[in-house]
């Protein structure tokens, strides 16, 4: 099936505007994707018709809101093929999902002398929580190196594994470079030494088919807002056997079974990890984003994005002074680059003057930038509603910008 991109674009109101006198070209999708009208309607519809606090309410509205909220949990379960919806926990984002695991699982099961493995490609949100845990527990953080193309060195990873390895937390797709990591192999190897694995799926869940049972990851963290859904909502998937033995992350309402001043007993999963009134409206609206994805079809989305990536590589590659950063064999639709002699900020500001939204800087991956010997990059990331003609437009602007220093 060939996608009708114009029909898809019509579903996204934000795309139809001018920025600095030029039609908006939105290429900052790895930071956050735009939201279809169905998601926006669901958000306002919830507040107009259903707003009510969920669970325990004895009235119709509370019942309705609860049902919709739990339907999204079921939707997420299907989206990642979890074994059951109780393994799906709503958080406020990928960052909180990772922190939850580091705090709860980490505090209980990581001890002095243990080793935790991450990679050079990690976002700060998959570095700092583990550094904090290691510092507290006197554990050691080990880093999987990469090659110059931005690919993880699997052999080096295997060398790092030992009976001391208790946890591996690895990014599925690099936000800065777009590299797709061979996570199935990594998970298998980690399990062979008895280590648990968390997958940072912030940048993979929107591009790749995710089957947590097939991958056999122990945890998966991702965000709704990179999946055409609302901001402020994240998901943590965890295997039941692990979630059940983990202590609560935060205390409060919703997460308890019974409270007395002497002792509190905790609720079952997933509620044990959802203290307080959750982000009800955004959870409910997220189902519409999942519906959008399944309506278009992930494989169709991937095929279109791959075509855009090929087209961009070819179009940008002809520009004098264009230096691609991250040239892994397996990539999602992200083009990270620099222009010879120019700072990425300057390139970003000049693209913005042409109505083109890209991200510039270190992309919250300072250790990766240090490894690559760069201060930062310009990153263009494509989504299902982007077109080849938008890429051509960016190539024209970029050629003009690059000419300043590359005559």
Partner 1 sequence: MSSIQDIQNEIIEEFEILGEDKESTIYYIMELGGQLPKFPEEERVDENIIKGCQSKVWLATRENGDKIQYLADSNTDITKGLISLLIRVLSGRTPQEILKADLDFIDKIGMGNIIGSQRSNGLSAMIKQMKLYALAYQAKQNV
Active site residues: 364
| Identified binder of partner 1 from the candidate list 354, 377, 381, 383, rule CB under 8 A | 354
Where are the extended beta strands (E) located within 120-277?
140-144, 165-171, 196-200, 219-223, 234-238, 256-259, 264-266
Distance between CA atoms of residues 62 and 60, nearest Å: 6
Q: Which of 219-227, 233-241, 291-299, 342-350 is the region at the interface with partner 1 (rule: CB under 8 A)?
A: 342-350
Q: Does residue 216 interact with partner 1 by CB under 8 A?
A: no
CB of 13 to partner 1, least distance (A): 23
Q: Which is nearer to partner 1, 269 or 356 (CB)?
A: 356
User: Which residue from 84, 85, 88, 82 is spatially nearest to 212, judged by alpha carbons?
Assistant: 82
Site string for partner 1, 358-387 (x = CB under 8 A): ---x-------------x------------
Kindly tell me the burial class for residue 45, based on how many C-beta atoms sit within 10 Å of its own C-beta (0-12, 13-18, 19 or more).
middle
Q: Which of 152-160, 192-200, 202-210, 343-351 is the region at the interface with partner 1 (rule: CB under 8 A)?
A: 343-351
Q: Does residue 342 interact with partner 1 by CB under 8 A?
A: yes
In the range 263-322, which residues lie near partner 1 by CB under 8 A? none
Q: Does residue 21 interact with partner 1 by CB under 8 A?
A: yes
Angle at Cα 307 formed by Cα 301 and Cα 311, nearest 5°?
A: 145
Q: Which of 208-216, 224-232, 255-263, 344-352 is the region at the interface with partner 1 (rule: CB under 8 A)?
A: 344-352
Where are the extended beta strands (E) located within 262-383?
264-266, 322-325, 334-339, 356-357, 359-361, 377-381
| Identified binder of partner 1 from the candidate list 9, 303, 343, 371, rule CB under 8 A | 343
Q: Which is nearer to partner 1, 61 or 357 (CB)?
A: 357
Q: Which is nearer to partner 1, 191 or 343 (CB)?
A: 343
Q: What is the DSSP letter of 334?
A: E
Residue that the structure tokens 């909180």 belong to: 96
| Identified binder of partner 1 from the candidate list 5, 40, 143, 353, rule CB under 8 A | 353
Q: Which is nearer to partner 1, 124 or 343 (CB)?
A: 343
Helix ranges restricted to H, 28-182: 37-45, 60-80, 94-109, 128-137, 154-160
Q: Which residues, at least 6 apart from 11, have a Cβ–Cβ distance to it below 8 Å?
A: 36, 37, 38, 292, 385
Q: Which of 8-16, 91-99, 216-224, 349-357 is the region at the interface with partner 1 (rule: CB under 8 A)?
A: 349-357
Q: Which is nearer to partner 1, 20 or 340 (CB)?
A: 20
| Identified binder of partner 1 from the candidate list 259, 323, 349, 396, rule CB under 8 A | 349
Q: Which is nearer to partner 1, 10 or 404 (CB)?
A: 404
CB of 319 to partner 1, least distance (A): 18
CB of 6 to partner 1, least distance (A): 28
Given a contact cutoff of 8 angstroms between Cβ atoms, the answer to whether 110 and 131 are in contact is no
Q: Does residue 345 interact with partner 1 by CB under 8 A?
A: yes
Q: Which is nearer to partner 1, 362 or 371 (CB)?
A: 362
Distances (CA, A) of 71 to 76, 125, 161: 9, 29, 40
Give the sign of the dihedral formed by CA 365, CA 371, CA 375, CA 379. Answer: negative
Q: Which is nearer to partner 1, 278 or 344 (CB)?
A: 344
Total interface residues for partner 1 by CB under 8 A:
14
Distance between CA atoms of residues 179 and 171, nearest Å: 10
Q: Which of 114-122, 173-181, 303-311, 353-361 is the region at the interface with partner 1 (rule: CB under 8 A)?
A: 353-361
Q: Does residue 404 interact with partner 1 by CB under 8 A?
A: yes
Cis peptide before 200 (omega within 30 of 0): no
CB of 345 to partner 1, least distance (A): 5
CB of 95 to partner 1, least distance (A): 20
Give the containing element (helix H, strand E) for 232: none
Q: What are phi and psi of 344, to 5 degrees?
A: -55, -35
Cβ count near 293 (within 10 Å): 19
Distance between CA atoms of residues 286 and 222, nearest Å: 13
Q: Which of 235-243, 332-340, 346-354, 363-371 is the region at the interface with partner 1 (rule: CB under 8 A)?
A: 346-354
Residues that bind partner 1 (CB under 8 A): 20-21, 342-343, 345-346, 349-350, 352-354, 361, 375, 404
């Amino acid at each position: 099936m060939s996608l009708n991109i114009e029909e898809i674009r019509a579903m996204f109101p934000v795309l139809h505007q001018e920025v600095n006198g030029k039609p908006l070209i939105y290429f900052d999708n790895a930071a956050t994707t735009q939201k279809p009208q169905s998601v926006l309607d669901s958000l306002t519809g919830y507040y107009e018709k259903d707003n009510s606090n969920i669970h325990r309410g004895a009235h119709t509205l509370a019942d309705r809101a609860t049902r919709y909220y739990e339907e999204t949990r079921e939707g997420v379960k299907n989206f990642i093929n979890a074994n059951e919806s109780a393994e799906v926990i709503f958080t406020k984002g990928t960052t909180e999902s990772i922190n939850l695991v580091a705090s709860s699982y980490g505090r209980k099961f990581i001890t002095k002398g243990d080793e935790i493995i991450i990679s050079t490609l990690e976002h700060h949100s998959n570095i700092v929580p583990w550094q904090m845990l290691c510092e507290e527990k006197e554990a050691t953080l080990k880093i999987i190196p990469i090659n110059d193309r931005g690919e993880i060195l699997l052999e080096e990873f295997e060398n790092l594994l030992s009976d001391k390895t208790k946890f591996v937390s690895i990014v599925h797709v690099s936000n800065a470079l777009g590299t797709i990591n061979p996570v199935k192999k990594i998970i298998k190897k980690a399990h062979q030494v008895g280590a648990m694995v968390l997958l940072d799926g912030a940048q993979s869940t929107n591009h790749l088919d995710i089957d947590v049972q097939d991958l056999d990851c122990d945890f998966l963290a991702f965000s709704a807002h990179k999946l055409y859904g609302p901001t402020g909502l994240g998901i943590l998937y965890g295997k039941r056997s692990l979630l059940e033995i983990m202590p609560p992350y935060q205390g409060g309402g919703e997460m308890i079974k019974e409270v007395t001043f002497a002792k509190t007993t905790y609720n079952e999963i997933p509620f044990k990890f959802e203290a307080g009134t959750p982000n009800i409206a955004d959870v409910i609206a997220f189902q519409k984003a999942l519906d959008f994805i399944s309506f278009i079809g992930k494989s169709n989305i991937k095929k279109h994005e791959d075509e855009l990536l090929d087209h961009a590589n070819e179009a940008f590659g002809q520009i004098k002074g264009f230096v691609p950063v991250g040239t892994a064999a397996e990539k999602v639709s992200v083009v990270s680059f620099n222009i010879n002699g120019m700072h990425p900020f300057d390139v970003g500001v000049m693209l913005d003057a042409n109505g083109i939204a890209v991200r510039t800087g270190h992309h919250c991956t300072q250790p990766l930038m240090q490894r690559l010997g760069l201060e930062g990059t310009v990153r263009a990331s494509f989504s299902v509603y982007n077109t080849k003609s938008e890429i051509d437009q960016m190539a024209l602007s970029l050629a003009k910008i690059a000419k300043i220093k590359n005559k």
